[in-house]
Amino acid sequence: MHAVIDTNVLIYDTFSDNPFHENGRRLLESLDKWYIPALVLQEYLWFFKREKKPLQTAKKMIEWYISDPRFRGLEMSHEIIIHALKILQDYNRSLSHINDAIILSHAVLKGFPLATFDVKLRKLAQTVDIKVLPEHIG
């Protein structure tokens, strides 16, 4: 199975002191391909910055994920942006949700499931008929 990966999955997988670490790890291990949008990698790095984690650790982790044979990078495009804006408009969401809409747009336009633990994003994905992984959380 494969999925578009949301940022929280990588964060949970990375930090063993996170209470959801095992959930993130199990989810990634269950997939044979990880479709990771460039935006997710950027958000992941912003997490390291916000938490004052060392640059070297962030670089090591990014390199680890992208060197894994399951990794497939997804680039940003104008089609993705337009689709994300349409999702926000169609479902009456504000621009503050643009990153989630961009990540979801990758899943919609590829026809892939979305891997996330974000409750609001999961609901929106289900509203637009995208399968969400894991099937149940918490």
CB-side neighbour CA atoms (13 Å) of 115:
28
User: What is the pTM for the complete model shown?
Assistant: 0.95
If you average pLDDT over every residue of the chain, what do you get? 96
Give 34-80 pLDDT, tens digit per residue: 999 999 999 999 999 999 999 999 999 999 999 999 999 999 999 99
3-state secondary structure of 133: strand
